[in-house]
Amino acid sequence: MSKRVRIVVTVAAVAALAAAAWAVFGRGDAKQSAFLTAFADRGTVVQSVATTGTLTAVTTVKVGSQVSGIIATLHSDFNRKVQKGQLLATLDPTPFEATVNENRAQLDRARIAALDGEIKLKRQKAMFEAKLISEDELQSAKAVHDQAAAQVTQLEATLKKAETNLQYSVIRAPIDGVVVSRDYDVGQTVAASFQAPTLFTIAEDLTRMQLTCQVDEADIGQVKEGQTVRFSVDAYPERDFLGKVSQIRLSPQVTNNVVTYPVIVEVGNADLKLLPGMTADVRVQVAQADNALRVPASALRFRPELLGINGQGSRQAAPERAAAAGPRTGDGPHAAVRTARVYLPPARPGGAPVAVDFVPGLTDGQFVEVRQGELADGARIVVGVATAQGQDIGGLAGMARGRH
């Protein structure tokens, strides 16, 4: 084949493609378009309330010291498993032991004084019965005896307090769990003047966690105990974790004039992937429709009038049927029904898309449930538009084959 013949054939092929594009897209002005479509199908639509939350252990105990002193030894560290009663740390016992010994000595002296007072009181009683002393002298001896006995009681209490402080210098685990925090080192001084300083933080059971979320007041009415929760954390972005709403706390929190309510979610953590303090992106599944007819949410955002494309009428959902199936915006027999609109592709090339109204149900952001309307399973729906102007012939032909 000669070069001139090949040129003629090439020009003819390009002309054929251009003619096909002309037939598909019209005259090529800015208002003619190739419509991108998707299908209405059946599937599951799960409506969720989105929020964020923080993971914590179900039970976390802060282990402190009730006495002041210098840390002498440490017997546990981060991530160590501990048993209830296990030794965690000790304070320098020297000052506590000295106080105990001092109080014991004072108590011994007081007991000797009380015994001496008791002997003198007995002697004074005998002399009083023999009428050798006055009643005033007897009462004076009795007062000395009672004062010595009271001193013994006071010093017994002081000694018990000193012995208790000596016991407090030994820090033990109050529960079984895992040490998640240690705030002091050997040689540091623990000052317990007004409140007990925290030495260790122990999480009781990291195989069970809880997620504390803040749900906006506009969404809290949809959240119920027992609902399924899906969430993800940055450490494992490819994985969804499951939980269940266990509590909705009636303690509103106001931040920048936004009212939220704490929602507690129970979470299993058998593989210990989740760690305390992780931030989670949470989706509380508040409603679910199975085997529902659904359309892409993007189809509801398509507006041909904004593109200068005129519609050619619409097919409305039957009002009486839609009112029975969809949510109302008012009360009474004439209450309005909330409807949505999507568009079907033109019935003929160069035509305008056909509007179809329906009663929407649940939405998950990707799909919208069709509760009532004339849309059928498998119907092709316009979700967008690709303008023909500026496209090359190959691109036009490909769009004509695959998208119109």
Q: Tell me the C-alpha distance between 147 and 153, whole Å.
A: 10
What is the percent of the chain with per-residue pLDDT over 90, rounded to a whole number? 70
Q: Where are the beta strands (DSSP E) in 249-351?
A: 253-255, 258-268, 279-296, 314-315, 340-344
Q: What is the pLDDT of residue 310?
A: 63
What are 217-220's contacts with CB under 8 Å, separation 24+? 217/252, 217/259, 217/260, 217/261, 219/49, 219/51, 220/248, 220/261, 220/263
The residues facing 264 across adjacent strands are 212, 247
Q: What is the pLDDT of residue 90?
A: 96
Q: Tell me the C-alpha distance between 345 and 347, whole Å.
A: 6
Give the model confidence (pLDDT) of 204-255 as tens digits: 989 999 999 999 999 999 999 999 999 999 999 999 999 999 999 999 999 9
H helices, E strands: number in the chain: 6, 21
Q: Tell me the C-alpha distance between 34 and 29, whole Å.
A: 12
User: Which of these, 186, 166, 175, lies nearest to 71 by C-alpha position?
Assistant: 186
Give the model confidence (pLDDT) of 22-38 as tens digits: 444 444 343 445 889 99
DSSP 174-235: SSSEEEEEE---TTPEE--SSSPPEEEEEES-TTEEEEEEEEETTTGGG--TT-EEEEEETT
Inter-CA distances, 199 with 80, 90, 206, 264, 345, Å = 14, 11, 20, 27, 70
Q: Tell me the C-alpha distance between 39 and 380, whole Å.
A: 5
Q: What is the pLDDT of residue 193?
A: 77
Its pTM stands at 0.65
The list of the chain residues with pLDDT below 70 reads 1-33, 309-336, 387-404
Q: What is the pLDDT of residue 348?
A: 84
Q: Judge contact between 47 and 285, C-beta under 8 A.
A: yes
Q: What is the pLDDT of residue 305?
A: 81
